[in-house]
A = this chain, B = another copy of it.
Amino acid sequence: MSEVYAARRERLRDHCTATGSGAALVSRPANVRYLAGAAPSGAAVLLGGKEDVLLCPEAPGAQGETGRPDESLRLHVLAAPGADAAVAAAELLVGEGADGARSLAVEEDHLTVARHRALSQVAPRLGLADLGGAVERLRLVKDEEEISCLRIAAEIADQALSELLESILVGRTERHLALELERRLVDHGAEGAAFPTSVGTGPHSGMPAHRPTDRRVEEGDFLSVCLGASYRGYRCEVGRTFVIGTSPAPWQIELYEVVFAAQRAGRETLAPGAACRDVDRVTRGVLDSAGYTEGLAPRTGHGVGLEIDEDPRLGPAAMGKLDACVPVTVEPGVHLPGRGGVRIDDTLVVRPEADGGPELLTITTKELLAL
C-alpha cells in the first residue's frame, strides 16, 4: 500500500510545483488519511520539506479506526502536550532553513484564523498560500482498492438492514431501531456507522437526515431508514422506505412509485462525462412532473469516500462532470408534512457503458416491501 500513498503525495507535490508553492501542509483529517494512510487526532502532513512528514500531537495508537500510518512517511510526534501539528510543521521548515525561501500552501478552509496566525508567527518570512481543494480533487476518482473498501462497507450496511427487516418492527421506537442497526454494522465488521443512522416512522418518514425520536412504529406507517458503514475509513450510504402492515394505502403506493422512478432515472443518468447538474435535473424532474415541487432537498446525491458527503455534489448549481470510478449516492425523497414520505438512496460507482454502466454497491431490494 505504501506506494499508493507515496504516489498520491507525488501528485500533490506536482500540483504545488505547478502553482508555485514549494511546500504544502495538509490538516483536514480525511485528506491526512488519504495521503498518510492514517489520521491520528490533530495530525498534519507536510510535503516538500527535506522529506515528507506526518506530524502527530501524540504517538498514533495501534487501533484500526484511524488507520496505520504509511511507513514511508517520517513520523514526528510532538513533544509538548497541547502542541499544534501545523505550527510544528512551520517550525520544521524554518529549522531546515526554508524560511523566506519559498511559500507554504495550507488548507484555508480547514485551518482556523488562530492557527494560521500562530503558524505565520513561528515562520514570519514564509509566504503562506491557499492549497484550496487540491487534495479533495485528487480524492474524487477512486482506485479499485478504495472501491473495494466501499463495496465491503455497502455489503455490511445491506446485511444490517436485511437482518432488521426479519425482526418485528411494530411497537419499537425509531431510536431503538437506529441503535440496533448500528450494533449490527459493527457486528458485521464496520468500524462504526458512516454517519448517524436515520430512522423515521409515520410523519417522520421521508425526511432527510431525520434524527431518531421515541416515536414507535405503527401499523400503516411508512418507515424510512438511512444507514451506512465505515470500513477502513470508507463510507457508504443506503436508504430504503418500507410500509408497515399488509396493505399500503393508495397514496403510499403512488408516492413510492414516483420516488422510485426518480431514483431509477437518476441512476440511469450516471455515466462518465454526464454533467453533475444533469443527474440532479433528471432525478428532480420526475418528482416535479408528478407535482412534488415543494420541500425537496437542495441536492439529490453526492460523492462518498473518506467522508460521507464529499465532491461531486449533485444539485442544480453543481459544476463539473462525472468521471469513471467516482462513487456517488442517488437519493431523491419526498416528505409530505404531517403524513410522511419516501426516500430511496443507493451508493453507486460511475462506470462506462462498456463496463456494464453504473455499479450498484447497495443491493437491498427497492421493491415496496410491506412488513
Contacts and interface: CB of A to CB of B under 8 A. Distances in A.
A315 B108 contact: no
Interface string A156-189: 0000000000000000000110010011001000
Q: Give the one of A111, A116, A179, A182 with max B CB within 10 A.
A: A179
A179 B175 contact: no
A69 B116 CA distance: 32
Residues of A in contact with B, size category = 20 to 34
Interface stretch (A42-50, A57-65, A261-269): A57-65
A112 B108 contact: yes
Contacts of A117: 108
A111 B112 CA distance: 5
A13 to B, nearest CB: 22
Copies assembled: 2
Nearest to A64: B213
Interface in A18-75: 61, 63-65
Q: Give the one of A182, A186, A315 with max B CB within 10 A.
A: A186
Contacts of A175: 186
Contact of A113 (B111, B182, B186): B111
Contacts of A182: 179
A214 to B, nearest CB: 9
A211 B109 contact: no
Contact of A298 (B65, B82, B176): B82
A315 B81 contact: yes
A199 to B, nearest CB: 12
Interface string A288-316: 00000000001100000000000000010
A125 interface: no
8 contacts: A61-B210, A81-B315, A108-B112, A109-B114, A112-B113, A113-B116, A179-B186, A183-B183
Given A63-B210, A109-B113, 16 more contacts: A61-B211, A63-B211, A63-B213, A65-B211, A81-B298, A106-B113, A109-B114, A111-B113, A112-B113, A113-B116, A113-B130, A114-B130, A179-B182, A179-B183, A179-B186, A183-B183
Q: Which 9 A-B pairs have the closest CB atoms?
A: A81-B298, A108-B113, A109-B114, A63-B211, A108-B114, A113-B116, A179-B183, A111-B113, A109-B112
